[in-house]
Structure formats: structure tokens, C-alpha cells
Amino acid sequence: MSEQTEQTQSGVVIVGAGMAGVQTAVALRERGWTGPVTLLGAEPHQPYDRPPLSKAVLLGKAEDSAFDVDFEGLGIELRLGVEVTGLRAAERELDTEAGPVPYEVLVLATGAEPLTLPGSEGIPGVHLLRTLDDAARLRPVLAAAPATVVVGAGWIGAEFATAAREAGCEVTVVEAADRVLAGALPAEVAAPMARWYEEAGASLLTGARVASVEAGRVALADGRSLEAGAVVVGIGARPATRWLAGSGVELGPDGSVTADAYLRTSLPGVWAVGDCASFPSARYGERLLVHHWDNALQGPRSVAANILAGEPAQVYDPVPYFWSEQFGRFVQYAGYHGGADELIWRGDPADPAWSVCWLRGGALVAILAVGRPRDLAQARRLIESATPVSPAALSDPSTPVKSATL
């Protein structure tokens, strides 16, 4: 730690008490930050983990998903129910309804907010699934098992449809694109995953645009009308950064805080991490905005290391990773692929377990593994090290991924 840092080890304020905010506070303490750490969160609840919200918490198999962190013991001042409404950089102050909060070092970790379906806000029976309150509202809905329309066949839509089928609801999933997971996977990979919906007894309508929603009914642009005791909208999320307008923090066209390779923002002493921030990836040659849990775990470690060092010390350039549990399958993805990358199948997608790999310049850049966690773990290491691999060996699912190197 530099001398200068020791003198200035005073106030770190973190805005957003989700995974990224909590992990930043914990990482600072673990690495020896002795100054005050204040964590401000808009939600009134004890900070909690989101992935269980579309899984165990939704189905009532778990009451909540609060993080097991001893904030008091770690000397982290946790201020809940405090929404930050503005940032005045010249004064190094934040605005909240409870009054101004000064900072010396600031970490933005406000996550993302779900996109809403235009015209559906406030209509009874229309739900989003982002917060603990959303999940709590949906639990009794599922228990009553109404005919349910899910708008969006992305990761959240698939997980919600899984839970709704398990609860005995009649489920129709409406997707505007021509396939499931259109933003994430190519058509040939998405096709077998679309069959999971039908197998689970959910009806999947692709190329279907919602025209309007009214209580109890969803009208599609092609004239079809769907009965909907409940509607769940899962059409994506955008960085929760509106409150930063006019603050001087640079935002990208997608609304993300455009952090640099060290997760610094355009303002001195202000960092950004998790779902609200994008960062330039030298590994993939583009700026990435990652809305997955592992990014909210790893990013804070870099931010904390850099704050501790008092200078840009640790570059953040991860191999992104996420998982999804849908239709009885454990789906994992690591890396990042583009349309031009070579696609290699490992196994038959009609089987319960298979993987798909993407190669660029002879090295693995991404993998999607369905029920093959070993493939994922081994591939993740090869992606990290950019080791050249043999496409022929890789395409044989009985050859371990780690043995497919050249």
C-alpha cells in the first residue's frame, strides 16, 4: 500500500447494495482497507442474491437469499432504504432523500433495472422479476396456477417458465425474435433449446410481438389473443444509471458507465462495477457489458485492489461466466463468441448432455455446456490461457476438453 493511500484511507462510499456493492465492501476489508466503508442501498431488505429469485425463492423452496455477511463485524456501515438521486462531483457529495452523503472514493454498483413492456405498467397481473419484492409478489400467483404468459424467451423467461410449469400453470412464452435466446446464441444452438419448452409442456410462440396487454389478456400483433391470469415480462435489463445524468460520469449508448480497464469512471476517485458498468476487454477486442453474477463477484476484487493500491494496478479482463437452470437442465456458458467464430458440437443436442465450443484463430473463445460441468471447467481454463486446440479432438465428446490441446 502506498504512503499516499495510507493518508487518504478514509471514506469509501458504495452506491448499490447488491452483489457487486457487497462484494466490493467485503473485498476492501479482506484486503486491509481500514478507513470507513459505507454501503448505500435503495431497497429496504438485507442485501440478497438474485439468482435464487427465479429458482428456489420463486417456488417457495427458500424463504430468501440474504448474503451471509457480518456487516457490523466487518465495520461496514450499511444504510438500507436510501436511494441516491444525484452525484455532485465538484463537492464530492451524493444526494439522497436523507440528506447529502460525502465521499472521498466512490464506487458505483447500482446494477440494472428490467425493461418494461410499453403500455403494460400498472396493469393488474403484469409482473417483472428483478427484486425480492417481485419474487414475493409472484409466489402466491404461481401457487394459484393461473394461465401465464411469459414475454421474452431469454434466460429469465426460460427460468420463470420452468418454475411456472413446475407450479402447474399453463404457460405460453411469447418471443418477438425468430428464436429463443436470440441475442446470445446462433439459431442452430437455440433450436434444440427451444424444444425444451415444448417438452416441459410450455407453448412457445416465436416471431410473436405483443401488441397490447390488458388485465387478463395479451393481444399479439398478428391478431391472436392469449388468456393471461398472469403476465411476466422478461425482455432484458438496462444499467440503473439514470440518476447519474448530468453528473459528469460518462455513460455509453446502452446506459452503462463506461469504465476503463481498471474499472475507473471518467471522474477521478469514482469507480464502477457489476451490471451498471461496461469495460474494455483486450481479450475480446471490444467493450463488454456483462449482466451475470460472476462479473459482480470478480469485478469488485479488481476495484478493491486498485483502491487499495491508490493507483491503477489490476486490469479487469475476465473470461465471462454464467449459469442458468432451466427445464431440469444445468446450462453454463464461459467466454464470449461472435458470429464469425467456428462452432464445434460435442455430442448430440437431442441427448440430455452436450456442449458447443467456439474457436477463433485455433483457440477456444467460448463454450456452452448443457449438463457437462467438466467440459465447462476445463474449457474455461483453456479460454483463459488462449491455448490452441484440435477441432477434431474437441468434437469427440468422449475426449476430455483438456486433452484436446495441440
Residues that bind ligand FAD (CB under 6 A): 15-21, 40-43, 50-51, 53-54, 83-84, 109-112, 129-130, 156, 240, 243, 274-275, 291-294, 296, 322-324
CB closer to ligand FAD out of 53 and 194: 53
Q: What is the dihedral of CA 99, 102, 108, 114, to 10 degrees?
A: 0
Q: Least Å distance between CB 296 and ligand FAD?
A: 4
CA distance 331 to 352: 11
User: What single-letter DSSP state applies at residue 52?
Assistant: G
Kindly give the residue spans of alpha helices, DSSP state H, lying in 212-351: 293-309
CA dist list (Å): 310 to 3, 302, 306: 9, 12, 6
Q: Least Å distance between CB 31 and ligand FAD?
A: 19
CB closer to ligand FAD out of 17 and 394: 17
Q: CB–CB of 211/219 below 8 Å?
A: yes
Q: Least Å distance between CB 268 and ligand FAD?
A: 21
CB closer to ligand FAD out of 154 and 226: 154
CB closer to ligand FAD out of 8 and 96: 96
Can you tell me whether residue 347 is helix, strand or coil?
coil
Can you tell me whether residue 246 is helix, strand or coil?
coil
Q: Please state whether beta strands 230-233 and 148-151 pair in parallel, antiparallel, or not at all (unpaired).
A: parallel
Q: Least Å distance between CB 153 and ligand FAD?
A: 15
Q: Least Å distance between CB 46 and ligand FAD?
A: 11
Q: Least Å distance between CB 353 and ligand FAD?
A: 19
CA nearest to 243, candidates 24, 95, 49: 95
Q: How far is CA 286 from the centre of its chain?
A: 18
CB closer to ligand FAD out of 23 and 120: 23
Can you tell me whether residue 215 is helix, strand or coil?
coil
Can you tell me whether residue 26 is helix, strand or coil?
helix
For residue 365, give the C-alpha cell.
473463445
CA angle 351, 357, 358 (to 5 degrees): 145
Q: Least Å distance between CB 38 and ligand FAD?
A: 12
Q: Least Å distance between CB 250 and ligand FAD?
A: 17
For residue 150, give the C-alpha cell.
411469459
Q: CB–CB of 294/300 below 8 Å?
A: no
CB closer to ligand FAD out of 50 and 337: 50
How many other CB atoms sit within 10 Å of the CB of residue 187?
11
CB closer to ligand FAD out of 146 and 234: 234
CB closer to ligand FAD out of 226 and 303: 303
